[in-house]
Amino acid sequence: SPGAEWGPTTERPGGSLLTRQLQELWRRSRGSLAPQRLLFEVTSASVVSERSSKYVLYTIYLIRSGQFDKAPAAIARRYSDFEQLNRRLRCRFGCDMAGVAFPRKRLRRNFTAETIAKRSRAFEQFLSHLHSIDEIRRSPEFLEFFFLPDLRAAQRLTCTGMYREALATWANAYRLQDRLGVCSSGRFLLTLAGLAVCHQELDQLGEAHSCCEQALQLLEAQGSHPLLGPFLQAHIHLAWKVGKDKRHSEARLQDLREAGLPLQQQPSLKECLIKEPLE
């Protein structure tokens, strides 16, 4: 299952797999401004029939060239999703998009193996071309095409108490942001909050603690952030439960108190997660 690598079975001496992944990721996000070459591969395409419509769903893996990723970062999108991305990017980046090819709409024979295979290759090339253009690669339109649907789905699942399913979805959103090199954004902090909350609800306290630790490293340079108080409080609570050092977080929380932050009214990490609007 997509969430398998996040389970408690990955605990071993020297810290869990998640902690090591996070530390490695953190080092990379600070140290490398040059983008890694990313490959987009359509691994399957299936025809979906709903009540009044029929469409092809393309599953795409994001693969870092020259590396073996044990757990894939995957998305599933239909032609209309790509079409919307294409439209939005052409509105904003007219010049850059002039040379980018997009497979045109067909009136019939949309479901033949030949059309699906051609479109699969065209979508791979389309995404690769977009990723090679600096301005576009960093744009919210391009980035959110990949991970915003997962964040919304994970938020919904968390709100309804389906923590195991939510965890797998947060984990995929995490991997997508990792591949896309956006591990210091607000969306990434929200993803870490989602992982921490779900791990805690599933009684995987070591993993929850690691997620808080990573978020606090990312927030180290920031004097104030809406998630700082909630992450500190969650980290202190979890550190106490798993027998880890919590003094640094307690000192930071004290600093916030002295700076006049009313911590009694601070929402919990879970409340922040549920209330965050994901437009």
For 261-279, write each residue's pLDDT tens digit: 777 778 999 999 989 998 7
**pLDDT score of 232:** 95
Beta strands at 38-49 and 73-78: parallel, antiparallel or unpaired = unpaired
Chain segment 8-27, per-residue pLDDT in tens: 333 333 445 555 555 555 55
Highest CATH level, class, for 154-278? mainly alpha
- Using one digit for the tens of pLDDT, what is the confidence trace for 156-206? 999 999 999 999 999 999 999 999 999 878 899 999 999 999 999 999 999
Predicted TM-score of the model (pTM) = 0.84
As assigned by CATH, the class of the 36-138 domain is alpha beta
Closest by CA to 238, choosing from 214, 205, 264, is 205
Q: Which residue has the tokens 């990573």?
A: 214
Cα(3)–Cα(70) distance, integer angstroms? 12
Q: Do domains 36-138 and 154-278 have the same CATH topology?
A: no
- Give the whole-angstrom CA distance, residue 76 versus residue 69: 18
**What amino acid occupies position 245?**
D
Give 168's contacts (C-beta < 8 A, 6+ positions apart). 1, 2, 3, 6
Residue 250, pLDDT score: 95
Enumerate residues 6+ apart whose C-beta is below 8 A from 35.
131, 137, 181
**Band of residue 69 on the pLDDT scale cut at 50, 70, 90:** confident
Rounded-to-integer distance, Cα 62 and Cα 48, Å: 22
pLDDT given for residue 108 in this prediction: 84
Provide the residue ranges of all domains of the chain, joining segments of one domain with +: 36-138, 154-278
> What whole-number distance in Å separates Cα of residue 249 and Cα of residue 231?
9
The token pair that represents 155 in the structure block? 């938020």
| Phi, psi (deg, nearest 5) at residue 112 | -80, 155
Instruction: Specify the pLDDT at position 4.
Output: 34
Using one digit for the tens of pLDDT, what is the confidence trace for 126-145? 999 999 999 999 999 999 99
Contact 255, 232 (CB under 8 A): no
